[in-house]
Amino acid sequence: MPQANILRPVPLEADWREQLRNVITDGPSLLAELGLDAAALGFSEQACRDFSLRVPRAFVRRMRPGDPNDPLLRQVLAIGDELTSPAGYGPDPTGETGGAIARAGIIHKYRGRLLLVVTGGCAINCRYCFRRHFPYGDNQNSRREWRQALDYVANDPSITEVILSGGDPLVADDDYLAELCGHIAAIPHVRRLRVHSRLPIVLPDRVTPELLSALSPAGLQTVMVVHCNHANELDTDVARAFAHIRERGITLLNQSVLLAGVNDSVAALVALSEALFAHGALPYYLHLLDKVRGAAHFDLPEQRARELHAAITAELPGYLVPKLVREIAGEPAKTPISPARGPH
C-alpha cells in the first residue's frame, strides 16, 4: 500500500471534535498546503457556493504534495466542471425525495430495512455525493422527535434492520447516538443496526470507546459500512480505528464509488481491495456513480465499469471482489451490473 505523505510534523488536535471544527474549507488554502496552484487545477469558487468544500486535515496529510492528479485531492476539490449540467443528471438521482421519505428523517425504499438521516453534517464533502442537494433542513429531528419517528419502525414488524446515515451519523455526539441506538434496540423485531460512515476513514480519531459502546446496544448485531475509494486513504491511524471496531464484534464492510480519475484502473481497484482486507474490512459494494448534478465529470460508461470489474475478478479471490451495482430510482433493491462479455 502506498505510504501516506506527512505534510507537517505538527500533531493533529487530540480531540475529534476539535479536528472537526478545524477542517479546511478554502480551496486556495488547501492547494497551497500541497504546493499546487488553484487556477491551474480549475478550482471554482462558484462550485463551492453550490456545495461547500470541506476536508479534514487528517485526510489532507495523506495527499501527495505537488501532485495535481492525487486521487484523494480529486475527490474533494471543487472545480469548474461541476457547473455543467448534462442531460440525465439531477438533484435526486436515487429518488429519495420522490416518495421514499416516510416521515421527516426516515427514508424507506427497500423491504425489511430503512434509513435514518441522523444528521445533515459531514466531516468531508465528497464532490460526487449523491445527497449533495438533499433537503436536510426538512429532515432534522430533535431527540423527542426521534422517539416519535421510531414509532414508524415499531409499527412495521417487517423492518429487521435500521441504517444510520446522513450526512454522516458519526458527526453526532456519543450520548445522542447512544440514546438513539438504545431506542432502536428496544424494538423487538429489529435485529441489526447498520452504520454508514466516512469518519473512520477521514477522521479516524472519531472511533473512541464511547462511540463503539453507543453503537453496540445489547440485542442488536452492528454492521459498519465505511466508504473508501482508494488505497492511499488507508494509513496506520485508520488501521487502528478499524481494529477497535472489530474488537467490539462489529462487522466491518466497505463500499466504494467508481470514479474517473480516482480509481478507474485495474491496478487501483486491486490495490484497494487488498489494502482494505489487510486492514480488516471486507469489500462490499462498488457503485456506479449516481447521476447527481455537479458530478458528471466523475462518471464512467457502464461498459467500462463492467470491463474493470471483470478484470479485477480475474485477479482477486472472490471474497475480495466487491459487487458492482447501480442504484436505480424506484427499484426494490440495488441493481447488479452483469459482467463484461468477450475480451477485456
Binding residues: 122, 126, 129
Distances in Å between the Cα of 101 and the Cα atoms of 112, 117, 135, 245 are 15, 10, 11, 30
Contact by Cβ (8 Å): 173, 142: no
CA distances from 215 to 187, 289, 331 (A): 15, 29, 30
In b/e form, how buried is each residue of 179-211, taking b as 16+ CB within 10 angstroms? ebbebbbebeebebbbbbbbbbbbbbbbbeeeb
Annotated binding site for [4Fe-4S] cluster: 122, 126, 129
Q: Which residue has the cell 421514499?
A: 100
